[in-house]
Chains A and B, each alone.
Chain A
Amino acid sequence: MTTKNLKTNNLNRRDFIKAATIISGSSLLSACANFGLNKASQAPLGRVVIIGGGYAGTTAAKYIRMWSNGNIETVVIEKSSQFVSCPLSNLVLGGSKSINDLTFGYDLVKKNHGIKWVNDEVTAIDLSTKKITMKRGEITYDRLIIAPGIDFMYDKLPSLESTEAQQQVPHAWKAGWQTVNLRKQLEAMPDGGVFVMNVPKAPYRCPPGPYERACQVASYIKVSRPKSKVIVLDANAEIISKKGLFTKVFNEMYAGIIDYRPSNAVTDVEVASKTVITDFDKISADVLNIIPPQRAGKPAQMAGLNNIDKRWCEVDFLTYESKLAPNVHVIGDSVSAALPKSAHMATSQARVCASAIVELMQGKMPDSAPVFANTCYSYVNEKQAIHVANVYRYDEAKKIMVAADGGGVSSSPTDIEGDYAKAWAANIWSDVLT
C-alpha cells in the first residue's frame, strides 16, 4: 500500500465517521424535538419510564442504567428543574443551613448514566396502552415506575387548600420556597411570640421530622427569641420516632421552650388569625406551621394505585410492582409499608426495584429475599444529631420487609453524630445525583 492510498483510506474512513456522526446526530435531534418516546424503544431490553425525580425516582434511574449496562432505555419525567433535599431542610429553620445548600441540578446524573430527562408534568396515565400524557408530549413504556412522593390531603383541612392560605400557614413539608417562607416568618416573630406546629397522624413522610423541626425552631428561639415558645400538637398518642431521645431533649435542652401535647389532632385552621383548633383547644399563633395528612403523590392517584385506605399503594416487596397493575412499580413515600418513609428507605426501595426490573426485563427471576439497611439522622441543634438505624429483611411467610434484630437508636445526641449526619447527606447526594 502506498502512502497516497493510505491517506485516501484514512480520509474515507474519516468521512465515513463524519457522515455517521451527522446521521446519528440528526436522529438525536429529531428524538429531542418530539422526544421520539411515543414510539417503541430501540434499546435491547426496552424502556422504563420513571415518574418523579426525587430520592427514589432518580436512584432507580441511575441503578437501572448501571445494572443493565445501559441496555435499558431510562426516561425520567420530573416537573421541577431542581432537586431540593428534604433531609437537612429543618436546619434552614434553625438557621445553620441555607435552602441553596440543599438545592442541586440533575446534569451530572443524567450525563454520567445516559438517563433521558423530560422536564414536564404528567397529566394522564393510560395503563392499558402503556402511555403517559404530559403537558407537552406523550411517552410509551415497557415498564413504569411511579415515584411521586406525597400529596397533601386538604379535604381534611379545607381552609388550607389555596396557595394564599399556604403562604400564611406554610407546611414546609416539601423543601423549597415553603421552607424559606417558614424561616422568614420565624425570623419576623417578636420575642415572646408563639410558634405552633403539628404532627399529623402516622403514617406520614419522615417520622422523626416534625420532632426534629421542633428542636430546630427551639434552638433558634433559645438564642434569638428567649421569651418565645414552641407548641407541638401531636395527633399521635406519643412521639412516634426516637421517643426516648426526643423526650429527653424536649425536657432538658429545651425545657420551658417546647410545650409538647400528645393526642392533639388539628381539626381546623383559621388562616387569617393563625388560629388552630383541636378537640381540646383553640390556640392562636404568631407563626403557624401545619403539616397536613398525606397520601401517595398525584401520579399514583391518576393511575388508581392508592388502594390502601385510598392513601397508599400496595406493592410486592420483591419487585415493588403494584398489586393492582402489572408492569407498574411504585417506590418511595407512596408505598404502603411498615417501613419509615425516609429518603434512605426511598433509595433502598428504588435499588431493589431497579435490580428486579433489570432481571425481569432479561427474563430472569428477581432476588427472592431482599435485605437492605436504613439510617436516619435528626439534628437536635445546629451540630448535634441522633440516629435510628435498622437492617430490614424480606419475610417469606408474611411477604413484607421486617426489621432485623440488632437495630436501634443513639444513646444520646453527640457532635460526632452531627458530623456523621453531614457525611450521610454528602454521600446520599453524591449517590443520587452523580
Chain B
Amino acid sequence: MKNDSFCFKDSCFKNWLLTLFFILVLTSVSFAITAKATEVLSSINTLSNTPHIRTLAASCAACHGTNGNAAAGNAVLAGMNANYFTTQMLAFKDGSRPATVMHHHAKGLNVDEINLLANYFSQQKRVANVAPTSQQLKANHDN
C-alpha cells in the first residue's frame, strides 16, 4: 500500500481536517439560519399580538373598520394575505403605487411595522361590517 493512496502525510492530514471543519461550519450555519428564520417568524407572530401592534393596527380602524373589517368603499384588511399587504404598503411608501392618502401613512411607518401589521391583519377574522343606524335628533338633546 502506497502512502499517498491513503494520505497520512502531515499536509494531507491538515487538508482533511480543514475539509471536516468546513463541513461542520456549513452545517451549523445552515442550522443557525433555519433557527434564525423560525425565531424571526415566531417573534413576528408574538409581536403581532403585543399591545404595541394591536394599538397601531387599531388606529387604522377610522378608515378600515374594527380589526380591518371595513365598510364598503375602503380596503378590507382583515384576513388579507400578508405578502400582498406588505407589497402594497411598500409600493405606497416608495411611490410606485399612486395614492391619495395612503402614501402619507406608509411613509410614516418603518418596514418592521409594516411586516407586523401585515401579519396582524392576516390573522384577523373577516366579519361583515355593521353600520349603526342614524336616527332623529331628540328635542331634548342639550345643545
Contact = CB atoms under 8 A, between A and B. Distances in A.
B125 interface: no
B58 A63 contact: yes
B71 interface: yes
Interface size, A (range): 35 or more
A78 to B, nearest CB: 11
A100 B62 contact: no
B142 A176 contact: yes
Interface string B91-103: 0010000001101
B136 A103 contact: yes
Given A406-B104, A408-B104, A420 B109 contact: no
Nearest to B109: A391
B3 interface: no
Interface size classification for chain B = 35 or more
Interface string B35-75: 00000000000000011101110111111111000111110
A203 B70 CA distance: 32
Nearest to B50: A367
B11 to A, nearest CB: 57
Given A178-B143, A407-B104, A430 B131 contact: yes
Given A79-B142, A104-B132, A344-B62, A427 B101 contact: no
B51 A414 contact: no
Interface in A348-382: 348, 351-352, 355-356, 358-359, 366-367, 369-375
Task: Pick from B72, B113, B133, B143 the residue with the most CB of A within 10 Å.
Answer: B143
A174 to B, nearest CB: 5
B126 interface: no
A423 B107 contact: no
A419 B100 CA distance: 11
Interface of B: 50-52, 54-56, 58-66, 70-74, 93, 100-101, 103-109, 113, 129-138, 141-143
16 contacts: A67-B51, A104-B132, A109-B132, A178-B143, A343-B62, A344-B62, A367-B52, A373-B59, A374-B59, A391-B108, A406-B103, A406-B108, A407-B104, A423-B63, A423-B72, A426-B73
